A and B are shown apart, each in its own frame.
Chain A
Amino acid sequence: MSRYLARYMVSRYFSSVPSRPLHVCVVGSGPAGFYTADKLLKAHEGARVDIIDRLPTPFGLVRSGVAPDHPETKIAINQFSRVAQHERCSFYGNVKLGSDLLLSELRDLYHVVVLAYGAESDKDLGIPGETLSGIYSAREFVWWYNGHPDYSGLKPDLKSTDTAVILGQGNVALDVARILLRPTTELASTDIARHALSALEESSIRKVFLIGRRGPVQAALTAKELREVLGIKNVHIRIKESDMSVTPADEEEMKNSRARKRIYELLSKAAAAAGTSKSDPDQRELHFVFFRQPDRFLESNERKGYVSGVNLEKTILDSTESGKQIAVGTGEFEDLNGSLMLKAIGYKSVPINGLPFDHKKGAVPNVSGRVVSQTLENLSQTEPGLYVCGWLKRGPVGIIATNLYCAEETVGSISEDIEKGVFKSSKAGSKGLMQLLEKREVKKVDFSGWEKIDAKEQQMGNERNKPREKLVTWKDLLAAAAAN
């Protein structure tokens, strides 16, 4: 039987028995959640999909991660909204898995549970001084400037220093650097949170250091974002020419990846152009520092408990068997002063009760999206009806588009399991969820509640020449959603 025919017959099976729809719950309304819902609705006419999210607002990191000066990236929200408005799909915000609901309860209520709740904690450096004040994870800082209700009160101090040190050279590091350096007149017309714009307007940060433990050929950032930061008005780029020399192993890496090669070329050009600029009073500097790994944070003598700098160890690259080059310390150290430190070394998912979890990877063990409970002699045992997608499945890497293909794989597994006849028992679905939420007095925010928040934010934005002015507290969000 062709794949197509099989799929067609499966969808027939569910749709021709309307009394037995396939009840699906997707946890998390980021790109992974929405792409999963979209593909399930398209593939199975009998599927009814409920998407829950702990926030009153949908769209995950597209709302709270993607930088305010990237409105074109946020257009993805249009497609997600169409999915949410599909007649067989519902969105319930302000419902948190792990506290409002247990995983076991969801699995009792639905045939299929797809966990797509992202990665809401941080990788640690595991070095001395990491808990000093003045050190933030990029996640916290990003959530602050994007008005996530959990971090809108962060109040990072941008006024006592002219230097910010960002550890890591991925795209999140670049986002943070750009927000710190971009003229605030340009940020003023974005959907940046108002508190962040005010703080940035008063910021004394003029120099930002981006610290990478490997070289320019291995930098985790991507070309589009690099090109953008290289082009910011009044920002002068500093790169040591000596860091730009390449080894045969680097050449090999570039031969195998056109992306790496193009990034290296952009950095080379910027390094060559550096220093030719004239100084001006509003000048800002962005330093790319390669081959340095953080060894410990330094505590201020004047202000106990506060960070005053970071001690960096110089590194060289060592080739591993897989061909990957990793950083190894040389035993040579140097200090870099600064009282604002931002760790942009990667996110990590949060485990929940009853869910298998790979603590090292910070993600859920799975085969093609099926959650693996244990592996015995290379045979993986999977949890029936339980799937993962997005950052929770793959670890915290990849762009919005990556989640599209990730969802395709997970939905492929679900379809195969439907074909195998895994989901025979009858389930309560949405109805059961509504009863449970009512019993627990959880005030869910449905999609029309979000639309009220959306309308209010756009209206407030309109008054300030911004696409929207975000509501940044739980109280304001819930009040707007409940308004008549």
Chain B
Amino acid sequence: MLGHRISRFGSAIVKQLAREGYLSATYGTRNLQRSYGHYLPSLPMVQRQTRTSQEAFFLNNHRFYTASATSSDETEKITIIFVDKDGEEIPVKVPIGMSVLEAAHENDIDLEGACEASLACSTCHVIVMDTEYYNKLEEPTDEENDMLDLAFGLTETSRLGCQVIASPELDGVRLAIPSATRNFAVDGFVPKPH
């Protein structure tokens, strides 16, 4: 089973993962219900700890998704830059139509999704770092706003990662993952009183 999964990644990465002890941390496949059905049999989660392993993913395997998706050879991709809890920027390629939550999981970005996109948890909260991009998004629905009201570290430009879907206008968007131990001293991060 492990071997089967690994074959998707390319051996260079396998070596790196093995060296760093990541292989122990594989999780079962996720079951995301909404928004991007045909990516469902997603890749296993592996711990991402170094930037290098992240870059290695892309250097060595541009077709990261093609192994798990049926039709995505021609699928257009955009770049989403995640800003993780340490403030590190991690650019990832995301096919149009995929949710930000799935994109994070596919790329081992530490973003929870406790309710697996059923709009019942707010653990997939992300902060759109530039207002310009925030304004390009469709307005959140009442249901998303209800959950956002409870999100940790809510800002003016907060959204739920499971509801934001990759689209061409979002190419280059930076999305921060709120942290309990670190504040983002960057534009667009305005902690809101509850």
> Would you list the 6 A-B pairs with minimal beta carbon distance, nearest first?
A72-B118, A224-B146, A259-B149, A405-B180, A76-B114, A408-B180
Contacts of A256 on B, CB cut-off 8 Å? Answer: 193
Contact of B120 with A4 in the complex, beta carbons under 8 Å: no
What bracket does the count of chain B residues touching chain A fall in? 35 or more
A-B contact pairs, 30 of them (CB 8 A): A4-B88, A41-B25, A42-B110, A70-B120, A72-B120, A75-B114, A75-B115, A75-B116, A75-B118, A76-B115, A82-B27, A86-B25, A87-B24, A222-B150, A223-B149, A224-B143, A227-B146, A256-B193, A257-B194, A259-B150, A399-B121, A400-B114, A401-B112, A401-B114, A405-B152, A405-B153, A405-B178, A406-B180, A409-B180, A409-B181
Residue of A nearest to B31 (CB): A78
With a cutoff of 8 Å between Cβ atoms, the chain B residues found around residue A399 in the complex are: 121-122, 150
Q: Which residues of B are at the interface with A, using a C-beta cutoff of 8 A?
A: 21, 24-25, 27-28, 31, 47, 49-50, 85-86, 88, 110, 112, 114-116, 118-123, 125, 142-143, 145-147, 149-153, 178-181, 192-194
Residue of B27, B122, B123, B145 near A262 (CB, 8 A) is B145
Q: Name A30-44 residues within 8 Å CB distance of B.
A: 41-42
A45 in the interface, Cβ–Cβ < 8 Å? yes
Q: Are A262 and B149 in contact (CB under 8 A)?
A: yes
Residue from the list A75, A82, A227 in contact with B28, Cβ < 8 A: A82
Chain B residues with CB under 8 A of A70: 120
> A15-B21, A227-B142, A257-B193 known; A400 and B152 CB under 8 Å?
no
Partner of A259, one of B21, B25, B47, B194: B194
Q: CB within 8 Å of B: which of A373-418? A: 399-402, 404-406, 408-409, 412
CB-CB nearest in chain A for B48: A42
Chain A facing B: main interface SS: helix
In the assembled complex, which residues on chain B have CB atoms less than 8 Å from the CB atom of A405? 152-153, 178, 180
Residue from the list A15, A222, A400, A408 in contact with B149, Cβ < 8 A: A222
Our count of residue pairs bridging A and B at CB distance below 8 angstroms stands at 92
Q: How far is the CB of A38 from chain B (nearest CB, A)?
A: 9
- Chain A residue with the shortest CB-CB distance to B178: A405
Task: Kindly identify which residue among B115, B153, B194 contacts A72, using a CB–CB cutoff of 8 Å.
Answer: B115
Total A residues in contact with B, Cβ cutoff 8 Å: 37
A82 and B145 alpha carbons, distance in the complex (Å): 29
Which one, A4, A41, A401, contacts B122 given CB within 8 A?
A401
Q: Which residues of A contact B123 (CB under 8 A)?
A: 400-401, 404
- Complex Cα–Cα for A215 and B178 (A): 32
Q: Is the CB of B112 within 8 A of A404?
A: yes
Chain A min CB distance to B96 (Å) = 26
- Give CA–CA (A262, B148) in the complex, Å: 12
The interface of chain A, by Cβ under 8 A from chain B, is: 3-4, 8, 15, 41-42, 45, 70, 72-73, 75-76, 78-79, 82, 86-88, 222-224, 227, 256-259, 262, 399-402, 404-406, 408-409, 412
Bound state CA distance, A409 and B179, in angstroms? 9
- A42–B114 Cα gap in the complex (Å)? 17
Among B47, B50, B112, the one with the most A-chain Cβ atoms within 10 Å of its Cβ is: B112
Are A45 and B181 in contact, CB atoms less than 8 angstroms apart?
no
Residues of chain B contacted by A412 (CB below 8 angstroms): 180-181
| Cβ contacts under 8 Å, A15 to chain B | 21
The distance in angstroms between the C-alpha atoms of A3 and B182, with both chains bound, is: 11
CB distance from B105 to the nearest CB of A (A): 11
Report the separation of the CA atoms of residues A3 and B120 in the bound assembly, to the nearest whole angstrom. 33
Taken together as a complex, chains A and B put the C-alpha atoms of A399 and B150 apart, in Å, by: 8
Knowing A75-B114, A401-B123, the reply to whether A45 touches B150 (Cβ < 8 A) is no
Are B192 and A258 interface neighbours, CB within 8 A?
yes
**B116 cross-chain contacts in A, Cβ below 8 A:** 75, 78
CA distance A168 to B173 in the complex (A): 43
Question: Which residues does chain A contribute within 8 Å of B151, judged by CB atoms?
Answer: 401
Q: State how many angstroms separate the Cβ of A254 from the closest Cβ of chain B.
A: 11
- Separation of A78 and B67 alpha carbons in the complex (Å): 25
**CB–CB B115/A73 < 8 A:** yes
The docked-state distance in angstroms from the alpha carbon of A408 to that of B179 is 8
Which residue of A42, A399, A402 has the most chain B CB atoms within 10 A of its CB atom? A399
Contacts of B47 in A (CB 8 A): 42
Q: Give Cα A132–Cα B27 distance, bound, in whole angstroms.
A: 51
**Residue of A42, A72, A78, A79 touching B25 (CB-CB under 8 A):** A42
Find chain A residues with CB under 8 A from B119 CB.
Answer: 72
Query: How many angstroms between the C-alpha atoms of A405 and B194 in the bound complex?
Result: 16
On chain B, the residues within 8 Å of A409 by CB distance are: 180-181
